[in-house]
Structure 1
Amino acid sequence: MDGQDSSKLCFPQLANSSCRGLMRPRWEAVLLYTLLSFITVITVVLNLLVVVSISHFRQLHSPTNVLLLSLAVSDLLVGLVVMPVELIRFIESCWLLGDLMCALSYIIGFTLTSASVGNMVLISIDRYVAICFPLQYPYKVTSSRAAASVSLCWACSLLYNGLILKEHLRQPDRHNSCYGECVVVISFISGSVDLVVTFIGPCSAIILLYMRVFVVAVSQARTMHLRITGTAQTVRVTAKKSEKKAARTLGVVIFVFLMTFFPYYFPSLLGQDISNSTSYWAVVSWLLYLNSCLNPLIYAFFYPWFRKAMWFIVTLKIREQNSCQANIL
């Protein structure tokens, strides 16, 4: 009797084929809505600040910032489009948005996540060329090439995830057992390919590139300070500071990437299919999307210009005439 009271039919008019969902206590639903809505709003606000800053101030119109802008746009769309749907999916016991939204929600979410990961790899490549080949950087990396790389990244993300989820797109309800479900199952083969393409490959590239950047940056710091000071003691102190700063940045980048992506791909590592019907799926998916909230903190807040640009926006100085010409670097 208690089980009957704590559950409801998703579609009462389809009593024989409707799913029965367990209702959350009111306090639990309110708490989850508040917490996840806060994360969603923070994700949107932080990434919107990055988008406005880079788009508005002309000093920020550089190849590197084209990549940061693309990353912020993908993360902004995650906050605007994906997180609200996932919030409802997580808290409500039934899927009430229909088969079309069931299909679109996953293709959009996976495409934006893949684009975000691709943008992080492009940023790593940009930093590698800038540090390791400083004289050739202005000729090798231009705004037009950065824009072309970004466009290719987005196109590949859409095509790749379309192939991964093609069966789901053709028949969104193929894994549903009743009306009121939105079940997606990624086979072990597709999951293994996705594991390599979206996790192992990008993670390896980021680690290798940043390690190379770290080594070259420390070497350059030692050489520069050796010429300026001529004392071995100062070189050792400065080199240690450079090493600590580079290691800290590298550590944050890798830690956040692993923390947010590894739980999602854990079933693939165990040789299992990936399904959103599992009990831990909600936690895993929100960890994945949390990366979009943390990216602006890692890739933008570490830049001094972002704090200046944010101050211009928050204080509404951005509305002043010729504010786009402001010196914020």
Structure 2
Amino acid sequence: MSLDSYSISRELTAEQTYLQSNTLGSSNHSLLDNCVSCFGSTEVTPAYVALYVSAILVVIITVFGNLLVITSVCHFKQLHTPTNVLILFLAVTDFFVGIFVMPLQFIWLIESCWFFGTTVCAFFNFVSFHLTCASVHIVALIAVDRCMALSSPFFYSNKITANLFVIVASLNWVFSMAYNFALLYSNGFFTHALTLCPYDCLIIVNEIWSWVDFVVVFVLPCSIMIILYLIIFAIAKRHANAIRAANNQGNPNAGKNDHVPKRSERKAAKVLGILVSVFLLCVVPYYIASVIPGSINTQLFNDVLNYTSALLYLNSLFNPIIYALFYPWFKKSMKLILRCRVCSPDSSLMNVK
């Protein structure tokens, strides 16, 4: 079975249909005859309306929440830090997910049909592949950033700059676009394998590319996140014990050593640890579902894959909520933006920390 890390629904059914078509030498017309007909919803029920209302609210909160994060980091010079650069790129990624991916995914999920044609299907798949890949790697970079800030604070404060992370994050976007273009092109996505059924938006990825994608987009970055946050936890615990021991000995300079991370650094690591944890909770179910043999129950496999895909995209909703709950600077900058205080002269120099 193909292990496509981002395939949407009915992949196994389509692959079997394609193989059967080649074996029998049937025409494209007979291939389409094997596709399941789809007529969409014929009855508007309260549950149907509630699903659409919920989907619209999720998209609105995702788009405007991440737009507030983008505006805050870009406008206020006090927020131009290396960590916030990565948060900015993550917010841009989540913003595009809310604009281009979520609406199509939710309509497809509610209607159980793809109504938008092959051109939009191509755009949808490429964008979702690229944004999810870029997002995973940015969150891994955030873990690297926090680990360096805690383990080597002197080196971090002198060598790591916001401009450096702008370059790193931009290269990550370029790599994600090139990698996913190569993956899709190698599997005929831009030629004959765009879609096999008129009411599906699917792609078949060969087994080699499936495993490569699984390692590059899931195993490596998620392993880095978990390992680095275990290191961060150990460092924070060691520093806390050292400060406590110094206080017990009556050392007035306890906690003032330049090599001991500031309280704000430890708090930032804690908050970003929550960010990474929520991210993994959204990502892991999809990949667990992707390795379940679809031959057990093809329809059940498709449904599970579709719902876990939606959960994967919902992470873009959770990120700005986490900022609002745990970052005082985001709360303050959000109030200034909503009150249009950013329109005043020199508003970019305001204190938001």
- Shorter chain as normaliser: what TM range? 0.7 to 0.9
Match of 1:26 in 2: 44
Conserved 8 A contact 1:191-1:268 = no
Match of 1:55 in 2: 74
Match of 1:139 among 143, 158, 167: 158
Take 1:80 and 1:320, find their aligned partners in 2: how far apart are those partners? Answer: 29
Distance 1:309 1:22, change over 3 A: same
Conserved 8 A contact 2:289-2:305 = no
Aligned length: 305
Take 2:127 and 2:274, find their aligned partners in 1: how far apart are those partners? Answer: 27
Take 1:43 and 1:192, find their aligned partners in 2: how far apart are those partners? Answer: 31
Q: Given residue 37 of structure 2, which amino acid in structure 1 is its aligned partner?
A: R
Distance 1:174 1:149, change over 3 A: closer
2:351 maps to 1:327: yes
2:279 maps to 1:257: yes
Take 1:250 and 1:62, find their aligned partners in 2: how far apart are those partners? Answer: 15
| 1:254 positional shift | 5.0
2:65 maps to 1:46: yes
| 1:208 positional shift | 1.2
TM-score normalised according to structure 1 size: 0.82
Take 2:157 and 2:270, find their aligned partners in 1: how far apart are those partners? Answer: 27
Q: Given residue 33 of structure 1, which amino acid in structure 2 is its aligned partner?
A: Y
Q: Deviations over 1:213-263 (max 9, x none)?
A: 12212222333344456369xx9xxxxx99x97997577345423321122
Distance 1:267 1:19, change over 3 A: closer
Question: Within 5 A, what are the aligned runs for 1:1-329?
Answer: 20-24=37-41, 25-27=43-45, 28-166=47-185, 167-171=187-191, 173=193, 175-177=195-197, 179-228=198-247, 230=249, 249=271, 252-270=274-292, 278-298=302-322, 301-329=325-353
Which 5+ residue runs of structure 2 have no aligned equivalent?
1-28, 255-262
Q: Deviations over 1:134-190 (max 9, x none)?
A: 01112331122101111111011111211222235323655514x333222334433
SS in 2 for 1:280: helix
Distance 1:255 1:124, change over 3 A: closer
SS in 2 for 1:170: coil
| 1:271 positional shift | 5.8
Quick check: 80-89 or 55-64, which moved more? 80-89
Take 1:299 and 1:214, find their aligned partners in 2: how far apart are those partners? Answer: 21
Identity %, equivalent residues = 37
Quick check: 101-110 or 294-303, which moved more? 294-303
Quick check: 115-124 or 136-145, which moved more? 136-145
SS in 2 for 1:219: helix
SS in 2 for 1:176: coil
CA RMSD, 1 decimal: 3.1
Conserved 8 A contact 1:312-1:318 = yes
Distance 1:196 1:219, change over 3 A: same
Distance 1:172 1:324, change over 3 A: farther
TM-score normalised according to structure 2 size: 0.76
SS in 1 for 2:154: coil
Conserved 8 A contact 1:173-1:182 = no
| 1:299 positional shift | 5.3
Take 1:188 and 1:173, find their aligned partners in 2: how far apart are those partners? Answer: 15
Distance 1:312 1:254, change over 3 A: closer
Take 2:176 and 2:244, find their aligned partners in 1: how far apart are those partners? Answer: 44
Take 2:287 and 2:36, find their aligned partners in 1: how far apart are those partners? Answer: 28
| 1:93 positional shift | 4.5
Distance 1:217 1:30, change over 3 A: same
Take 1:151 and 1:172, find their aligned partners in 2: how far apart are those partners? Answer: 32
Question: Which structure would you say has the larger RCO, counting Cα contacts within 8 Å and 6 or more residues apart?
Answer: 2
| 1:297 positional shift | 3.1
Match of 1:6 in 2: none
Distance 1:270 1:187, change over 3 A: farther
| 1:57 positional shift | 0.4
